[in-house]
Amino acid sequence: MSEPILKVENLNRYFGALHATKDVSFEVADGEVRAIIGPNGAGKSTLMDLITNRTTPTSGKVIFRGEDITGMAPNKIVHRGMTKCFQISKLFSNLTVYENVQIARIEMNKKTFSLLPVRDVYLKAEVQKYLSFVGLEDQMNEVAAYLSYGDQRRLDIAIALAMDPKLLILDEPAAGVAREEAYKLMQLIRDLAAERNMTIIFIEHDMEIVFNYADVISVLRDGEMIATGTPGEIRNNQFVQEAYLGGGDA
């Protein structure tokens, strides 16, 4: 059995008296699509911020591809193959779709401050490839601010893909997107994961999306990991039903 791509060991984070995550431990297999679910305030986004070190853990470890990355600078984590898409798209709204992805490629090529006379065509084939993955190649010259919300989410994913992630973390990728568009977006994510041998962790509140697209589901409540299993196991877990999905007599 191969080593997990991600190991989280006894991860704790205190904000004053608030214990946001409580000894959270889990492993994610290479190539897996993992959903993290739980009520509002369960600690899901905090957990993802701890893994990517946008928030420093109070204690515990994060092991990524066999390396302890606990406390490592987020930009160094990105260069090691872990990228996060935020719940609210982080785009350069005044730049074109093409330029948004181009900037990511320039950063990954360690040419962030290069002033190239061929800027418009620099890495063009690579940029077009990532836009093609998400179906935005025909809109490459549009200003990002003028895209529909669903297309902005696609652009966010294209930017993340341009960073060559081995592990892609998505914070509520379907939030604010119409149901039909949300299903298309999640199918795109699954297809990309399979095609590029990429591992996905996503936070989501829509249970239909979670049960349709996740290989494994982990459930958080009050900062604790209370269950992990296949969609079928989680659906039939009485403790999860009572704690999160709802229980009691009809």
Give the span between the Cα atoms of 170 and 44, in whole angstroms: 11
pLDDT confidence of residue 166: 95
CB 157 within 8 A of CB 171: no
Q: Are strands 167-171 and 82-85 parallel, antiparallel or unpaired?
A: parallel
State the DSSP H helix or E strand holding residue 45, giving kind and residue range, or none if neither. helix 44-51
Residue 181: phi, psi to the nearest 5?
-65, -35
pLDDT confidence of residue 250: 43
> Could you list the mean pLDDT of each consecutive 10-residue stretch along the chain, which spans 250 residues?
90 94 96 93 93 95 97 93 82 92 83 52 82 92 92 90 93 83 87 89 92 95 94 89 59
pLDDT confidence of residue 247: 55
Buried b (16+ CB within 10 A) or exposed e, 219-230: bbbebebbbbee
pLDDT confidence of residue 245: 55
Residue 158: phi, psi to the nearest 5?
-60, -40
Q: Label residue 61 left, alpha or beta by phi (over 0 means left) and psi (-120 to 50 means alpha).
A: beta
Question: How many C-beta atoms lie closer than 10 Å to residue 96's C-beta?
Answer: 16
pTM tops 0.85? yes
